[in-house]
A and B are shown apart, each in its own frame.
Chain A
Amino acid sequence: DTGVSQDPRHKITKRGQNVTFRCDPISEHNRLYWYRQTLGQGPEFLTYFQNEAQLEKSRLLSDRFSAERPKGSFSTLEIQRTEQGDSAMYLCASSFGSSGGLSTDTQYFGPGTRLTVL
Chain B
Amino acid sequence: DQQVKQNSPSLSVQEGRISILNCDYTNSMFDYFLWYKKYPAEGPTFLISISSIKDKNEDGRFTVFLNKSAKHLSLHIVPSQPGDSAVYFCAASEYGTASKLTFGTGTRLQVTL
Interface residues of A (CB under 8 A from B): 4, 6, 31, 33, 35, 40-45, 48, 50, 55-56, 91, 93, 95, 97, 101-112, 114
Contact = CB atoms under 8 A, between A and B. Distances in A.
A103 B94 contact: yes
Interface in B66-100: 89, 91, 93-100
Given A4-B43, A106-B34, A109-B45, A42 B98 contact: no
Nearest to A55: B98
Contacts of A48: 98, 100
B43 A31 contact: no
Contacts of A107: 34, 46, 99, 101
B5 to A, nearest CB: 10
Contacts of B95: 101-103
21 contacts: A6-B43, A33-B100, A35-B101, A41-B105, A42-B4, A42-B105, A42-B106, A43-B101, A45-B100, A56-B100, A102-B95, A103-B32, A103-B94, A103-B95, A103-B96, A104-B51, A107-B46, A107-B99, A107-B101, A109-B43, A111-B41
A43 B103 contact: yes
Nearest to A111: B43
A97 B98 contact: yes
A57 B83 CA distance: 36
A109 B102 CA distance: 14
